[in-house]
Each structure stands twice: as C-alpha cells, then as structure tokens.
Structure 1
Amino acid sequence: MTDATLVMSKVLVLDDASEHFEQIKQLCEDSRLLGIKPNLGSQGGVMAILRSNVDLGGILLYENYGGQAMGLTLAHAIHAARPELPIFLRRDGEASLAGLQSSDISMFCAAFNLSALEHFKSVLESSIFSRVYPTDLVRGITEMTLSSLQTLFKTCAVEVEAPYLVKDQIIYGEVFSMIAIESNWCRGYMMLQTEEERMLNLLRHAAGADAEPLTFRDLNSVLGEATNLVWGSFKNRYVGFRDDMSGLTQTQVPIIINHQRRYISFGSDDPQLCLKYNLVPLDDPQATPVSVFQRFVFNLSWSPDQFSENPSVEALVDSGELEMF
C-alpha cells in the first residue's frame, strides 16, 4: 500500500450519459473514489441500493438522470432516505447550484460540470476525505485484525479489501459488536458487523458434523472474542503506558440505533474508517466469502498529530529502558 492509495471511498454514480462515462471514471480514479452504478436505473432500483448494505461516501448525480430534470426528483427521495450522504450534482451548464429553488439547493453538497473538474476535485477531497487517518494506523489496524481473525478461524483463509471511508450509517448484517476505544489522541468506538446465519454456517462447518449444535450465542461469543483481541492489540500498540488522560474532557454523545432501518448514529458527520474482511473455508476455496465489516468511529476525540506507536520490546532493550533477564 502507498500513502496515496491507502484509503478510498465508494460513491454511487447516477449518470446515464454514456458519452461521458470515461471522463467520470477518470474523475473517480483521480479522486481515490470507487464508483459503483445500479443495474436498474429507475428510482426504485436506486432506492433499493440505498436500502441495502452498501457502504457509501457520497453520490454523484446527473441533473438529467432518467430524463429531463428527473435527477432533482430522485435527489429528494435520496435525501429523505439517507440525509447523511453528500450529493454532488453534475450539471450541463454552469458548475454551480444557481437557478435551483432553495428547497432543492439544500439537498446538495456542491455542483460541478465536466469542463472544470480541478476545483471539484478539491471539493470532493474536503467533503469525503475531510478526516485523515494516518497510514501507519490503518496498516497496523489491518495487521492486528487479520491476526485476530486468523487465530479464531484457523480453518479459513482471511483476506482484507482496501480500506475506505464511509459517511453512511447503515449497519451490515444482523449482529455486531461495539467497544470503546480510548487513548490520549483518540476516543470513539470500534465495531465488527456480520450476517448471523452465514457466519453460523461457517462456524458449524469448521466444528464438524460431530460437534454440539451451535446457536447465535456461540456466534456472539466468537464475535466478542474477536473484538477483545483487536482492542487488546490496539491498546498494546497505540495506547502508551505513559499516556496521561486525567486532563481530558470526558465528553459523551448519545448513540442512536434504529433496528428496523439498520441505522446507527454516533452524533457525528465525520467519515468513518471501514475495512472489509472475507473468510473462506480452506477446504472449499470456491465458496462465497463470509464478510466481517470493521468500522472505527472517533467521534469523541481525534488528534492524529499526537498518534504514535509504542516501542517494541527490542527497541526498549536497545534504548536501555529494559534489559533481558
């Protein structure tokens, strides 16, 4: 991984002007965006995607998507369903929201056209990538989580996809764990999210036919153990024993969960760091992967300039702070 490509973000591209496809694709690549498009371009098809488990950082919407000025009608439906997602409106004329009604303007983060993209790229950077996660932190989180999952799922191959930022608040699957993350440079939460039945089937497959029947409680136990392993590694690596947190203001923010809508809010619009881990049985490499989504939400305190990694035992020995017994 390189600093430039370490963290990306997914955007839903709602643009049916095929003659501009290559330009929009290049815009996404230049802006570290992974663009996805709906197979069904109707409003129903778009809303179905937004109701699904898709982690998004924003939406690129053409004003005439689906017909003359139909993009505005769709924007109202999108904004009502997912108000946390920034919508960027592509226009044929001026790269501004001028000429729209005030009720329409409030739905959009910005407007752009394809003839003046340099300014728009900076808008995307400040809107979607408004929070910077240190490269060493992201790499370290990936390493410690892979190690933890491989410890618990010894009969599986565990792979991780490229990390990305999300602004949506959708919960993936039916079960998730959450644990507080605290240090002198960050305060927030880590979540692990997965699908209950598919993960249970994976555990049953690993246990074998002669094992005791597994239930959702066994899944809860495994997910809880994975969460503890990652948090323990995080604490050992990034929360120093010299950290003085006595002077920190212990701010708390209510966490809102809507089970019916699979929605969770931490009271912050800051982009969350998301990583997706895929588990596949070693004896069935063609099986559909079972996914575990990991999210970090540093909504209570975030000072990345104070981020540092604790020295290893070898480094402490070399510095003279420790000696081998």
Structure 2
Amino acid sequence: MDMNKPVSKVLVLDDCPAHTEAIKRFCDENNLVGLTVRTHRLSAVLRSNIDLGAILLAENYGGSPAECAAIATRIDALRPELPIILRRDEHATLDDLPHALREVVCAAYVASDMAPLRLAIDEYLFVLDYPNALVRGITEITEFKLANLFRDLTVTWDTPCLVRDQIIYGEVFSLIALESDWCRGYMMVQTDEQPLLELLGRKQTSDSVPDFRDLNSVLGELTNLIWGAFKDRYLGNAQAARSQVQVPLIINHKQRYISFGTTNPQLCFKYHVVDEASGRSVVFDQRFIFNLSWSPEDFEEGADDVDALVAAGELDLF
C-alpha cells in the first residue's frame, strides 16, 4: 500500500459469504480498509472514536429488510456524517425502499455491478485530491518535530486516511489556521490527556509532577513547530488568501463532536510516540481540514535547498 496515498476505513455490515470476496477485492482496489463488527457490538463501536469514512450495508443485514432499516436508522442517529451505501439483491435503486431506509441511505449497488459503489466512494470519500508530495511532506515534518520534542522515544505512524467523522479524539486538542492562495482551513492536533501526562512524568521526581498546564504547553509547542515548518515549506511564498469567507466552528464537548461547516472528509494522520523502556505510549491524531478553500492544482512544493530545509527545521547547522 502506498503510504503517501490516503486510505479510508469503511465498516462492512454484510454477512453474506457469497459477496465477501468481491467486497474485499473492491476495498483492496480502491484504497479502502474494510472493517467488520458483530451485530451486538455495533452500537458500542459507533459510539467510540474509531475513524470511519462510510458504511457498506447489505439489504438483508440482521436477517431481514426491516432489521436492516432499524440498524441503518440507528447508525444515522449515532453518526449522521457517515454515508450509508446499500448493497441490494436485485436492483441498484433507492426508489422502492421503505421510507425509513430511503431517508438514511445515500446510494445503492448490486454485487454484479460495482460501478455505482465506486461512484459513491468517489463522491463521498475521495472528493478532494491530495497531492502525494503534500501527504508525504506532512508526515516527514510531523515525525521530525515529534522526534525532536521526544528525543529518547520512538515515533511511528499509520497510513494516512480520509475520515468523514466529526468526532473529537481524546480530551485535548489544538487548532491553528492554514491560509494561502491554494488552501484555507485548519490543522488540528488531538491526544489523550493521561497517556501524555505519564510520558511527560517518566523522568520527573515525586515533587514535580506534570499537570494539564505542562500538557497544554507541550501540545502548543508541537502545534507551532509543525505549523511553522508547514508554512515555510508550503505557504511561505503564498499570496494573501483570495476569499475571506468564514464559517463558525461548532464544538459539543458532551457529544465529543466538532464541526468545521463542511461535509468534506478530513485528512487524518496518526502518530505513536512510544517509550520502549516502560511500554508507555501516546497517540497524536493530526487532521487537516480545508473547509474554506482548496485548489490542489495551485499547490507547489517548496524547493528542497539547504536554506529552505534549515528554515523548516529539517536540517540543523553544525
């Protein structure tokens, strides 16, 4: 799998063995990571902060169309931002579905013709084109900054993915604006509080225990370091943004929900910082949301000369 090409995780709710291989093959060919769940654990999974891009639902999942409709309605109530794509037995249409199911399903396909499924995936998940150089550069910058901030720890990362979820990951996050003539939006960095506090306190004495202020300071420093390198590498020569349109950000802490005013998928990166000696680790969830402007055709990667790499923090002068 190309680590510079984002994938998307889809929840496959299809218990028909005859179609399993076809769906697996489709996922492999279309940069999708298929996940399955037992029916009785579905609600628990949907209430978790697992990153998802879509739901692939079979017409008779759960044993009958009526049960399928009930499950689809429950999914829509818990995660309304996730598109539900229905595999039908005979006709790839939504017209003859029960009203409750038709209201929450966005597209339909049949196993003998995956073309409508591919169109739906392109429309709802791969709607934005992210240049490979940008995806690769984000990973390089962030890994470098994490490695310098946590010098004695190991940093790894997952394959970048596209998520339509608007679920907050962890208890603390930072936001910083990104503006240029080719993009306008935000970078968000999220993490869990306790694992990071434990890593910060691994070398502290008992009378100097880190608290949330130390955590805020580290997250703020990390965000600024990444933003500065990103700006120097990709936004340094940018002109002023063409549009000054703004949208409100909606944050609901009780529901762990954040909205940037767009249904476009977010570009998500996950980094694991591990203390090999103790086994302690923390996950940093990094997301890029280009909700105000996105023109990848105008994207240009900065020249990789020595001065640019030093300015971005990629190299240090000896």
Q: TM-score, normalised by structure 1?
A: 0.90
Asked if the contact 1:72/1:104 (under 8 Å) is kept, the reply is yes
What amino acid does structure 2 have at the position aligned with 1:272? Q
Per the alignment, do residues 49 and 2 of structure 1 end up closer, same or farther by CA in structure 2, a change over 3 Å counting? closer
Asked if the contact 1:31/1:125 (under 8 Å) is kept, the reply is no
Which of 107, 112, 116 is the aligned partner of 2:109?
112
Alpha-carbon shift at residue 216 of structure 1 (Å)? 1.0
Looking at structure 2, the residues matched to 18 and 308 of structure 1 have their Cα atoms a distance apart, in angstroms, of 46
Three-state SS of the structure 2 residue aligned to 1:190 is strand
Q: Which residue of 2 aligns with 1:173?
A: 170
Whether 2:209 is the aligned partner of 1:213: answer: yes
Alpha-carbon shift at residue 30 of structure 1 (Å)? 1.4
Which of 288, 297, 302 is the aligned partner of 1:305?
297
Looking at structure 1, the residues matched to 10 and 71 of structure 2 have their Cα atoms a distance apart, in angstroms, of 16
Which of 54, 57, 62 is the aligned partner of 1:61?
57
Asked if the contact 1:155/1:282 (under 8 Å) is kept, the reply is no
Which of 233, 240, 254 is the aligned partner of 1:245?
240
Asked if the contact 1:9/1:165 (under 8 Å) is kept, the reply is yes
Per the alignment, do residues 96 and 313 of structure 1 end up closer, same or farther by CA in structure 2, a change over 3 Å counting? same
Looking at structure 1, the residues matched to 185 and 243 of structure 2 have their Cα atoms a distance apart, in angstroms, of 13
Matches for 1:1-325 after TM superposition, within 5 Å: 2=2, 6-38=5-37, 40-42=38-40, 45-69=41-65, 70-205=67-202, 207-209=203-205, 212-241=208-237, 243-245=238-240, 248-284=242-278, 287=279, 289-314=281-306
Per the alignment, do residues 314 and 278 of structure 1 end up closer, same or farther by CA in structure 2, a change over 3 Å counting? closer
What amino acid does structure 2 have at the position aligned with 1:10? K
Per the alignment, do residues 114 and 290 of structure 1 end up closer, same or farther by CA in structure 2, a change over 3 Å counting? same
Looking at structure 2, the residues matched to 211 and 270 of structure 1 have their Cα atoms a distance apart, in angstroms, of 47
Q: Which runs of 5+ in 1 are unaligned?
A: 317-325
Q: Which residue of 2 aligns with 1:323?
A: none
Asked if the contact 2:73/2:100 (under 8 Å) is kept, the reply is no
Looking at structure 2, the residues matched to 29 and 289 of structure 1 have their Cα atoms a distance apart, in angstroms, of 30
Alpha-carbon shift at residue 315 of structure 1 (Å)? 8.6
Looking at structure 1, the residues matched to 295 and 156 of structure 2 have their Cα atoms a distance apart, in angstroms, of 30
Alpha-carbon shift at residue 210 of structure 1 (Å)? 5.8
**Identity over the aligned pairs, expressed in percent?**
49
What amino acid does structure 1 have at the position aligned with 2:299? F
Q: Which runs of 5+ in 2 are unaligned?
A: 309-318
Q: Which residue of 1 aligns with 2:315?
A: none
What amino acid does structure 1 have at the position aligned with 2:29? D
Q: TM-score, normalised by structure 2?
A: 0.91
Q: Which residue of 1 aligns with 2:312?
A: none
Cα distance per residue 1:201-241 (max 9 Å; x no partner): 11112x24467110011011001000000000001000133
Aligned length, in residue pairs: 307
Asked if the contact 1:276/1:294 (under 8 Å) is kept, the reply is yes
Looking at structure 2, the residues matched to 280 and 149 of structure 1 have their Cα atoms a distance apart, in angstroms, of 11
Alpha-carbon shift at residue 102 of structure 1 (Å)? 3.9
RMSD: 1.8
Three-state SS of the structure 2 residue aligned to 1:274 is strand
Asked if the contact 2:195/2:281 (under 8 Å) is kept, the reply is no
Cα distance per residue 1:255-285 (max 9 Å; x no partner): 000001100000000111000001111324x
